[in-house]
Structure formats: C-alpha cells, structure tokens
C-alpha cells in the first residue's frame, strides 16, 4: 500500500496533491464537519481545531449571519493552519445551473472552497458544468458514490456508473464521498462521513462507524466527523482523539499490507 505522500505524486489535480501531502505532514486524516449556524462558532472551531485537521467541511448556507468576510477569514485560517476548505454543497442540477451555483450568487463558492462535491444523478453534464468554473482555479470535485444514511439509493449500478464518470474526468474529480475504498487507482481519494466513536446512529437515519472501521477495514482515506467533535464538552480533546484514532488505523493498514 502506498502512503498518502506517494499517492500525491500520482495525482494530476493540484488540490489532490496538496491534500495528500498535508495529511502526511500534519499526521491527520481527520476532516471536521462544522454544522453550526453562526459565523462566530464556525471561526472559533476553525481556529481552535485547525492544527488537528486536514479538511474543514462547511455547509455555508446554514450560516444565519453570512457575509463575504466569513469566507475571507476562513481562507486565512486555512492558510495559517494548513488545511483545505470543502463546501459540502452537494450540487445536483444541470450543468448550466450548477455553474451559476458554484461561481455566482452570495456565496461565491469557487472563490474560496478548495473542494466541492456533487451527486451524479444528472450524469456527465454536472461535472462538465462545475469543471468549467473550477478547473482553472485548481479546485477539486468529489462525487457522492455512496451515502451514509439508512436506506439511501446510492448503491449498485449507480455507484459503478459514478466511478466511470470519475475516471473520465480525472483531472477535476479527485475522489468520492463513500463508505469505503472503491477502486484500485491510488490517485482517487475516499472521504467517509458517518463516523462516531460513541454512537451508532442519530434519530434521522444517520449511521455511524468508527475510524478503525473506516480507515483500516474499509480502506477509506479520510474520516469526516461532525457532532462527535463539535458537540463534545471539550472539542479540542475530542478532535485529538479522532485524529489519533484515524492515524493509528492508517498506520495499522500500512503494516497490514506490508505483512501480506
């Protein structure tokens, strides 16, 4: 098995390279999902946990006091603590519409978010639309090949076809939202949400597994943790715990492959 850094050399997309390199540099495969509703909370978490994470995932449209200063401040923190921003917009429309949603409007996502994601329901045109905006800015796209929720429809042929789309646009598609590793090509990066050390589910269909299951057993690359960290009494301590768990599982996986 290759290390994150070794895989970085195989990526054509600059954001993918940067991400894989910084994971090894910072020894963290932890992405935090900060689903809070004020700028203040978001910036406080970004500043206090920035050194522990490789990616900070936002839902910018849930911030009730949004202003462009927020994304400016987030970008500065991302630079200072060396993490990437991932706006979890889950684009799902026709090419022309997603182009506008990505590049225009209040949020100007393409101007600050290194990584975005999209459902593959519309087919190739959604990728082409996003790519027209993001490729020149060195951005990267994740496809939702699977989801974490109970009863979700992203499986079987849908997942298989999503992988085919990724291969076709591998200059812009850097990986997937998924529960597990899906392909042998080491240039694709797997992000897995639905991670929690103390709960199996929430009350709305979310399903949780542990960092060990995600990174070691399912051979994914990055754990996405939300409430497990930001709702804890001491988020910094929790972030360290998840960082360690994710990193230990990765080290074990390297060993597993060596001894095979």
The C-alpha angle with vertex 113 and arms to 85 and 199, in degrees rounded to 5, equals 40
State yes or no: is 90 an active-site residue: yes
- Residue 225 engages ligand S5P in binding (rule: CB under 6 A): yes
Alpha helices in 82-215 (DSSP H): 95-103, 109-112, 124-134, 157-168, 211
Shortest distance, position 227 Cβ to ligand S5P, whole Å: 3
Shortest distance, position 205 Cβ to ligand S5P, whole Å: 10
Shortest distance, position 75 Cβ to ligand S5P, whole Å: 20
Q: Which two tokens stand for residue 28?
A: 């963290």
- Residue 35 engages ligand S5P in binding (rule: CB under 6 A): yes
Gyration radius from the chain CA atoms = 17
Helix (H, G, I), strand (E, B) or coil at 238: helix
Shortest distance, position 3 Cβ to ligand S5P, whole Å: 25
How many whole angstroms separate alpha carbon 3 and alpha carbon 72?
32
Figure out which of the listed residues 228, 238, 239, 246 binds ligand S5P, where binding follows CB under 6 A.
Answer: 228
Binders of ligand S5P among residues 181 to 200 (CB under 6 A) are 193-194
- Residue 177 engages ligand S5P in binding (rule: CB under 6 A): yes
> Which candidate in 90, 168, 181, 238 is catalytic?
90
- Residue 180 engages ligand S5P in binding (rule: CB under 6 A): no
* 160 CB neighbour count, 10 Å cutoff: 11
Active site residues: 90
């Amino acid at each position: 098995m290759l290390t994150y850094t070794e895989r970085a050399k195989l990526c054509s997309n600059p954001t993918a390279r940067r991400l894989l390199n910084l994971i090894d540099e910072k020894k963290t495969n932890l992405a935090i999902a900060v689903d809070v509703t004020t700028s203040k909370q978001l910036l406080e978490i970004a500043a206090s946990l920035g050194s522990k994470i490789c990616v900070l995932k936002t839902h910018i449209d849930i911030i009730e006091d949004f202003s462009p200063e927020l994304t400016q401040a987030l970008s500065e923190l991302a630079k200072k603590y060396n993490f990437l921003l991932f706006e979890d917009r889950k684009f799902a429309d026709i090419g022309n519409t997603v182009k506008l949603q990505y590049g225009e409007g209040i949020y100007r996502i393409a101007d600050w978010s290194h990584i975005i994601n999209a459902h593959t329901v519309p087919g190739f045109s959604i990728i082409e639309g996003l790519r027209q905006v993001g490729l020149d800015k060195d951005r990267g796209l994740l496809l939702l090949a699977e989801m974490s929720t109970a009863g979700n429809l992203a499986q079987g042929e849908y997942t298989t076809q999503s992988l085919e789309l990724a291969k076709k646009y591998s200059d812009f598609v850097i990986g997937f939202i998924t529960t597990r590793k899906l392909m042998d090509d080491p240039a694709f990066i797997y992000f897995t949400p639905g991670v929690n050390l103390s709960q199996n589910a929430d009350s709305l269909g979310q399903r949780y597994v542990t960092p060990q299951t995600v990174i070691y057993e399912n051979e994914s690359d990055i754990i996405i943790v939300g409430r497990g960290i930001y709702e804890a009494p001491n988020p910094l301590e929790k972030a360290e715990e998840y960082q360690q768990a994710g990193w230990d599982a990765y080290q074990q996986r390297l060993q597993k492959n060596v001894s095979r």
